[in-house]
Chains A and B, each alone.
Chain A
């Protein structure tokens, strides 16, 4: 296929944006047209991404669908491509965005047009991040994605939206500055910004530590890892439903992807050296945030904190440096993308009706919303990692992978599994079960067609991926195997020189 399919996928949303900008007229009509246009484009992107996946050769660890164009002088090229590690994030992104667009019809009450533009811009940026094969391009997309998100929180957010938006922006920008410095340094040393070439290039071990730290600062903030996680709960609480969904489902995954691609790929020696640091921070993060989640009175905050805990599993899995660990991490990211999106959408469903996120205001929702309760239950179970749901596979693979390397880390992380059962079920019980105490609950209406349209695909995916996880594992295994082999060869080389 000679079609530049990746470029089309990445920039198709921008064409949607163009269309939206050009529509003028009666506001109600415009909103309707914009909604249809953006839904159509995002759906088209989704179809294309599925096409991409079906044409992807899972038996090759190489980058595929590569496109290359010179851009700024001889230094920076526009180069995109995907391998087994990145392709599923492309699919995930293009799956989540249409759902977000459908969700806006209930949750966004003003300036819908601008909101849709922001969403589509986000999509381009995020797809760009996962497809870039040039670190400058990667950096551009990585940072540019901040702006629409900043606007989504700052304009359509709740009461403390400005505080949260700035907190989000400052935190992530702070991290990125160090990454930029590291990228420039790499370019000066290696003379190229091409990721494919850099993966083969051996960066001198003495620089690796500092460069690793540069990337780490950025990724740690984005993941987010303890103790730089405090922007996430605030951002989630204030963001409108669609914003939270994108944030949890995709934005956080960029960091996990970055850890695998760059930290492991460019700086194996430093990764090996710093693995204990990652383990420590992640373990603290898992236990700390799980306990904090237990005490939350705000539903969105609770899920936000649980996200931090779940991402802790991702980071320890990556730094286990074996196939179970890394495959588990990727699986966990995909699964968390689906499940956390579904959870935020579920919270959105009742928020749109009651306009409160306080858990105490609910109770007995099952009486008036039985269908909704089933959906919510499945997602809660997936979030606590019940076997048979997607949540289990990722956690299990990560834990078993880490256990091979360091039993203590795995043991401590597994306590997070017990705690997640506590806070998830307790949340569910307080919201859904019990007597109806609030009169507003009595008049709730069960979920409507739009809401089913957003939640049902996620429900099906949650269960299908739990029972047939090989759909994902088969795609990623060759590439992950490759990453692990390269890593191991470099580390064993290092050990040999040390012995000499």
Chain B
């Protein structure tokens, strides 16, 4: 059954990818959707079997690489952590597949699109069901590939191509870190199977090594490198620049890959490796700082973006930051809980945004929207649900998971807990602010679009609305329903050793004022947003004109792109040019073969000049030679 679960999407992808043209659009869509929906049902069944009955599935499919003491298998390994990911991946994927039928209805390349989506799903499943680091790496780069293909799906758009390459390359930088982490593990443990590595990890916890003249515990190096990989995939600060650009892809892609599944792979990796990370306080601290900073950074940028998808992209970035600092504080299960709920409401928001974009005929700029909430009531109300869930409105999904993270930070002993908790609360407020800004700009106020007439704005077809409704159930209930399992008092049983805690994580109950603080801030942001973005734009303009430099700083996304362009892209091109023209052309060839032939030619030209053909020249030379010879004999 697990085989079917994993390989059905691959089969669908292959069949549709190769025979899509002859199968036709309809059949291609049906094949991929059916396969992925079956996968989704299977994963729900497996979830109930594995997570609720504390089982572990472990199958070896085939031997992959065996070289010396390095032996790696293709395998399927499902424990509670994996089964949670399976549910998230396949259910969101299935809904996105169905939604795409409607969203891509005007696109000529439907089979190709569906094939890529299924391929992505397969790669993601390979990633989460791996029982060793290398298969995880296979899935890791595989989802990167699918992401590359899907971002660049509209290959005629120059910006889409650029974004696709950027996503792949930035991820490669992260993958580089992950690979080094794997190398370190293999070098010192001689194995890269999860079970063996986790079992033996305590044997090297005292070991110090020196890298770059820096002596530090080996385990810190391992964790930091693994985390660099996670930062790339999960778009954490410094390696986040690809995520907003990735919005060039079709919206269903953003929902599936860049919100619900692929970007959470980094969180999954760190949680999967919790037996390693638990021994490295240094790495955990680093994760707290990076996560909290990302949460804050992305929220500030999200406040001022005008592209509806980019706002949600930065919001994703920010929420991933929450997950990471939860991980860093040792609250792995809460991080996964947030990952779980986030998948539903963020996919809902993205698909809702897609529906809005659809309604406005491919308009993404929120300044050119507005005033349509009555025209598209389904989309509107579903977006409201998504927003409420994201901002952590009481009793919706985000409330249980996000507030749990903030409370965990409050009770934590970690030295950076104060930093995390402050940012957690402030960011929750900002999240609410930018989310409601999005709602108000998009749906309220005046209709600002010049290209479409308001009468032409219509709600999306049923095939797009139904997935949204199903996701909205997730956004409403997933927090309340699964709270007890994921982070309740019996969480240790539920996770069944798939997450490792050195010492049991105890959630301290903070005082009442603190529990109330976040919801109050979140709710108070609603009227504030209304005031700024609907009621009177004057306040906003005033605020911007007073803080112009800050505003520019935020609009330009803290100048990261410019900085990287200056630091890496341009120097690389310059150096490449220099090596090519000067290094290869002038130095190596100049002194090597070209120089040599030049010298040979010069010498032979000179030599040729001796043969003038005049008899008296030769006679003269003979005379000189003779006299020299005679002199020589006379003296010696």
Contacts and interface: CB of A to CB of B under 8 A. Distances in A.
A296 B164 CA distance: 21
A457 interface: no
A468 B73 CA distance: 10
Contact of B593 (A167, A233, A388, A421): A167
A265 B393 CA distance: 71
B155 A291 contact: no
A399 B179 contact: yes
Interface stretch (A110-118, A207-215, A238-246, A408-416): A408-416
Nearest to B137: A387
A168 B589 CA distance: 12
Contacts of A481: 68
B57 interface: no
Contacts of A433: 152, 155-156, 161
A324 B165 contact: no
Contacts of B576: 291-295
Nearest to A420: B172
Given A230-B592, A366-B155, A404 B179 contact: no
A364 B156 contact: yes
Contacts of B611: none
Interface in B33-76: 62-68, 70, 74
A425 interface: yes
Contacts of A166: 597
B168 interface: yes
B186 A400 contact: yes
Contacts of A381: 145
A364 B154 CA distance: 12
Interface in A306-324: 322-324
B156 A435 contact: yes
A328 B211 CA distance: 24
Contacts of A396: 134, 179
B610 to A, nearest CB: 26
B161 A403 contact: no
Interface string B448-490: 0000000000000000000000000000000000000000000
Contact of B172 (A170, A418, A469): A418
Interface string B519-530: 000000000000
B584 A230 contact: yes
Q: Which of A233, A397, A421, A434 has the most chain B CB within a 10 Å cutoff?
A: A421
Interface string A320-363: 00111001100000000000000000000000000000000000
B142 A400 contact: no
B530 to A, nearest CB: 44
Given A291-B576, A291-B579, A417 B172 contact: yes
B24 interface: no
Nearest to B580: A292
Nearest to A481: B68
B168 A425 contact: yes
Contact of A400 (B70, B158, B161, B579): B70
Interface in A349-403: 364, 366, 381, 386-388, 392-393, 396-397, 399-400, 403
B191 to A, nearest CB: 12
B169 A327 contact: no
Contacts of A155: none
B154 to A, nearest CB: 10
Q: Size range of the interface on A?
A: 35 or more
Contact of B62 (A288, A324, A364, A468): A468
A470 B138 contact: no
Nearest to A422: B169
A291 B211 contact: no
Contacts of A322: 68
B503 interface: no
B202 interface: no
B373 interface: no
A477 to B, nearest CB: 7
Contact of B168 (A323, A387, A393, A421): A421
Contacts of A233: 584
Interface string B590-611: 0011001100000000000000
Contact of B579 (A228, A288, A386, A470): A288
A387 B65 contact: no
B67 A323 contact: yes
Contact of B142 (A387, A419, A435): A387
A404 B68 CA distance: 13
Contact of B183 (A171, A228, A399): A399
B626 interface: no
B544 interface: no
Contacts of A425: 148, 164-165, 168-169
Contacts of B155: 366, 432-434
Contacts of A477: 66-68
B625 interface: no
A322 B67 CA distance: 10
Given A418-B169, A429-B165, A397 B65 contact: yes
Interface in A230-283: 230-231, 233
Given A386-B145, A397-B65, A418-B173, A324 B70 contact: yes
A288 B583 contact: yes
Given A230-B584, A387-B142, A388-B142, A323 B68 contact: yes
B446 to A, nearest CB: 36
A252 to B, nearest CB: 18
A461 interface: no
Nearest to B581: A295
B32 to A, nearest CB: 18
A309 to B, nearest CB: 12
A180 interface: no
Interface string B124-159: 000000000010011011100100100010011010
Contacts of A473: 65-67
B67 A434 contact: no
Contacts of A422: 165, 169, 572
A227 interface: yes
A92 B149 CA distance: 31
Contacts of A227: 588, 592
Contacts of A324: 67-68, 70
B2 interface: no
Contacts of A421: 168-169, 172
20 contacts: A170-B596, A170-B597, A171-B593, A228-B588, A291-B572, A295-B573, A381-B145, A387-B138, A388-B138, A393-B65, A400-B70, A403-B186, A410-B183, A418-B173, A421-B172, A425-B164, A429-B152, A429-B161, A467-B74, A470-B63
Given A293-B576, A432-B155, A434-B155, 20 more contacts: A230-B588, A230-B589, A288-B579, A294-B572, A296-B580, A387-B138, A393-B65, A400-B182, A400-B187, A404-B187, A419-B572, A422-B169, A425-B169, A429-B161, A429-B165, A433-B161, A434-B158, A469-B64, A470-B64, A477-B68
Interface of B: 62-68, 70, 74, 134, 137-138, 140-142, 145, 148, 152, 155-156, 158, 161, 164-165, 168-169, 172-173, 176, 179-180, 182-184, 186-187, 211, 572-573, 575-577, 579-580, 583-584, 588-589, 592-593, 596-597
The 7 closest A-B pairs by CB, nearest first: A323-B68, A291-B576, A295-B576, A403-B183, A387-B138, A433-B155, A292-B580
Interface of A: 166-167, 170-171, 227-228, 230-231, 233, 288, 291-296, 322-324, 327-328, 364, 366, 381, 386-388, 392-393, 396-397, 399-400, 403-404, 407, 410-411, 414-415, 417-419, 421-422, 425-426, 429, 432-435, 467-470, 473-474, 477, 481
